[in-house]
Amino acid sequence: MTAARQPLIKVENLTYQYNGAQPVLKNISLEIGRGECLAVIGQNGSGKTTLVKHFNGLLKPSSGRVYINGRDTGPQKVSTLARTVGYVFQNPDHQIFHDTVGKEVAFGLKNLRLPAEEIERRVNEALEAVGLTGHYATYPFNLSKGQRQRVALASVLAMHTEVIVLDEPTTGQDYRESVQIMEMVKNLHEKGHTIVFITHDMSLVARYAARTVVLCEGEILADAPVRAVFAQPELLARSYLKPPQITLLAQELGKRAIPPDVISVREMYDLLQKARADKIGCCG
Amino acid sequence: MAAAVEYIQKDSPVHRLNAATKIFWALFTLACGLLFNDYRYLLGLLASVLLVAAAGRVLKNLLPAITGLSVFALILLLIQALFYDQGQVIFHLIPQTSYLPVTNYGILSGVAMAARMLSLVLSFLVLLATTRIQDMVLTMVEKFKMPYDYAFMFMTTLRFIPTFLGEVRQITDAQKARGHAVEGFNPFKKIRSYAPVTVPLVLISLNKAENMAMAMETRGYGGGRRTYFKEPKMRGADYLLTAVLLLLLVLGVTARVKGLGVM
Ligand SMILES: Nc1ncnc2c1ncn2[C@@H]1O[C@H](COP(=O)(O)OP(=O)(O)OP(=O)(O)O)[C@@H](O)[C@H]1O
Ligand SMILES: [Mg+2]
């Protein structure tokens, strides 16, 4: 089967400029396979949002091509691509307009013209997934911003799209809500959805992504497994990013016993225990 | 149109002029546009406005607006040509009949109307594109003695247009991403399909207004006499230009009283 072999998202020499003369994305090529979990990172204004808006056709390349499932996005409508690619915006207030949470979540499903029972089933399922089960009939604007963000998330989850793009899903959330949201994302990934998320929180990248793309002034600075990227602090510094603290600690501790690509506390703990047992440890 | 109402940062002789001079120029253009209705005078006026735009190096930025306005100008011209029945008939819009005659005066007065509309609107756009809103407000308050509240309201309205257009775009994107499409030709369906955009827009706008009110209060809005950090000065060029414009205005009024420039 060719469908299984071709990447789900393929970006070919993508250049994009807004009205201004300066291109915001410069000749970007990228492939994302089915079932990947990819983090896009980079400083403010590096072009992350601009890049992912090409995945569901909100933006069309100035030059180059973007393929979803092997089909060029150029001639396709966003409302058509929405069947394949779900997109969660950063600000939920740009989309909420119904008077109950349930209706809001059902909006996308109605656009897909699903039968009523199916809609009902999926709405309940999505609300449960985001931890808002009891809020079916709540007026959305009585919810907190974090909860509204999860309503927006549910309204995209319910559409069961193959790809889910999340633009800074945790910005402005407290730690607990951030983790809740990311656990939800992880869950979806385990169910087989392809995930692309943008974040400024390196610890979330370390914890949830398998692969990361680093953007810097519209170009791809690195595209590699998370570990490999965090093991190169000089490279990250060029995009004004810093690996998570535990990785910095590993790099500080030196090369012999502790590798420079540790990304979790658990991993560090195990390495330190082992080093102590071997009596070559660095920390006595 | 979004770009047309915004200040465009450039270094040009027009930008360097005092806001008062430029406001006076826009009013002068308005007066001339209303004084005359001879197409030659009004075309001349339009040319002068375009010249000022070119001197301010904003002609290119105004091009989208000019294109948009030209459509209206054409419609004006068409209507005028259709319904003005004095003068020599040149041709009939429905050939071989005597219906809908188009006369030479009809066309000329259409041209005059279109040129007047273009000059008035464009002079205002040139003013906005070359003058920082703060300077404009300052001038209106200090020079023209407008109450600060009104000037502030004017400034905020202008400032919010691009912001709103941005919000509209973001909301439309968010709804499209959930499979929403503004549907076909049925007007009822069409109106209903705008709700996903208008409802969030209204809510966001109310929220913005409330936030702004709070921000204004925390910064002491309405707390007494205002002083200004930067008081824009009238320079030689400003006095000279104002004098020239005044002279032209007097000449214009005299000409008009003598019956020149009217058809
Ligand atoms: N609608 C627009 N019109 C013109 N320029 C834009 C527009 N949106 C973004 N830009 C510009 O494009 C560049 C990249 O913006 P983008 O939003 O993709 O950055 P980002 O990496 O998502 O940044 P952030 O981390 O702040 O979200 C910025 O320089 C920005 O000013
Ligand atoms: Mg962004």
Q: With a 6 A CB cut-off, is A139 part of the ligand 1 pocket? A: no
Q: List the alpha helices (DSSP H) in chain B.
A: 13-16, 19-35, 39-55, 59-83, 104-130, 133-142, 148-176, 187-192, 195-218, 236-257
Q: Report the alpha-carbon distance of residue B59 to residue B241 in Å, rounded.
A: 21
The pLDDT value recorded for residue A267 is: 85
- Asked if residue B190 belongs to a domain, the reply is yes
Among B175, B179, B195, beta carbon nearest to A112: B179
**What are the structural domain ranges in chain A?**
3-241, 244-284
Query: Please, which pLDDT band fits residue B82 given cuts at 50, 70 and 90?
Result: confident
- Residue with structure tokens 């069961």? A160
Asked if residue B78 and residue B10 are part of one domain, the reply reads yes
Report how far Cα B257 is from the mean position of its chain's Cα atoms.
28
Cβ-Cβ contacts under 8 Å, A94 against chain B: 167, 170-171, 173-174, 200, 204
Distance from the alpha carbon of residue A119 to the mean position of ligand 2, in angstroms: 31
| pLDDT on residue B243 | 94
With tokens 């703060």, the residue in question is B134
With an 8 Å Cβ cutoff, are B199 and A58 in contact?
no
Q: Whose CA is nearest to atom 4 of ligand 1?
A: A18
Q: Are residues B67 and B165 in the same domain?
A: no
pLDDT in tens, A108-139: 888 888 888 889 999 998 888 888 888 888 89
pLDDT score at B190: 67
CB contact, 8 Å: B162 with chain A? no
Same domain, B14 and B117: yes
B182-189 average pLDDT score = 64
Neighbour-count burial of A204, counting CB atoms closer than 10 A to its CB (0-12 exposed, 13-18 middle, 19+ buried): buried
Report chain B residues whose CB lies below 8 A from the CB of A91.
170
Q: Is residue B63 part of a domain?
A: yes
Residue with CA nearest ligand 1 atom 1: A18
User: Is the beta carbon of A48 within 6 A of some atom in ligand 1?
Assistant: yes
**Do B33 and B98 belong to one domain?**
yes
Pocket flag, ligand 1, residue A50 (CB < 6 Å)? yes
| Closest residue in chain B to residue A80, using alpha carbons only | B179
Which ipTM did the prediction report? 0.81
Nearest to A97 among B167, B179, B196 (CB): B196
Same domain (yes/no): B157, B32: no
Cα–Cα nearest to A165, from A199, A127, A200, A190? A199
Per the structure, the count of domains in chain B is 2
Do B212 and B239 fall into the same domain? no
CB A226 within 8 A of CB A210: yes
Looking at the structure, tell me whether residues B46 and B74 fall in a common domain.
yes
Task: For residues B32 and B93, state if they share a domain.
Answer: yes
Find the domain containing B171 and state its range.
148-218
Q: If you measure CA to CA, which chain A residue comes closest to B207? A: A93
A47 close to ligand 1 (CB < 6 Angstrom): yes
Q: Which superfamily does CATH assign the domain made up of A3-241 to?
A: P-loop containing nucleotide triphosphate hydrolases (3.40.50.300)
Ligand 1 centroid distance, CA of B12 (Å) = 28
The verdict on B59 touching A (C-beta cutoff 8 Å) is no
Q: Write out the two tokens for A195.
A: 């995930």
The reply to whether B140 falls in a domain is no
> Domain check: are B101 and B178 in the same one?
no
Per-residue pLDDT of chain A (284 residues; tens, 9 = 90+): 445 567 889 999 999 988 767 889 999 999 999 989 999 999 998 999 999 999 999 999 999 999 998 889 888 888 888 889 999 998 888 888 888 898 899 998 888 888 888 899 999 988 888 888 888 888 988 888 888 888 998 999 888 899 999 998 888 788 888 888 888 889 889 988 999 999 998 888 988 999 999 999 899 998 989 888 888 888 888 888 888 888 888 888 876 677 887 888 888 888 888 877 876 545 54
Distance from CA of B26 to the nearest CA of A (A): 29
- Name the one residue in this structure whose structure tokens are 């601009």: A50
- Alpha-carbon distance B3 to nearest alpha carbon in chain A (angstroms): 10
The verdict on B181 touching A (C-beta cutoff 8 Å) is yes
The protein residue with its alpha carbon nearest to ligand 1, atom 19, reads A45
With respect to residue B262, please indicate whether it lies within any of the assigned structural domains: no
Based on the fold, state whether residues B26 and B127 are members of the same structural domain.
Answer: yes
A89 interface with B at CB cutoff 8 Å: yes
Q: Are A196 and A143 in contact (CB under 8 A)?
A: no
| pLDDT score, position B1 | 41
- The string of pLDDT tens digits covering residues B101-129 is 778 888 888 899 999 999 999 999 999 89
Do B100 and B164 lie in one domain? The reply is no
- pTM for the model stands at 0.75
Pick from A77, A81, A123, A119: nearest CA to A101: A123
B170–A91 CB contact, under 8 Å: yes
Find the residue in B nearest to A57 (Cα): B177
Shortest CB distance from B171 goes to which of A53, A94, A156?
Answer: A94
Residue A167 C-alpha to ligand 2 middle, in angstroms? 7
Distance from CA of B10 to the nearest CA of A (A): 15
Does residue B176 sit in the same domain as residue B153?
yes
Using alpha carbons, select from B152, B164, B161, B149 the residue that is nearest to residue B201: B164
- For the four alpha carbons of A46, A50, A55 and A56, in that order, the dihedral sign comes to positive
Is residue B95 one of the residues assigned to a domain?
Answer: yes
- For ligand 2, the distance from its centroid to the CA atom of residue A88, given in whole angstroms, is 12
What pLDDT is stored for residue A50 in this prediction?
93
Among B63, B168, B178, the residue to mutate for chain A (most A Cβ within 10 A): B178
Is residue A56 lining ligand 1, measured as CB closer than 6 Å? no
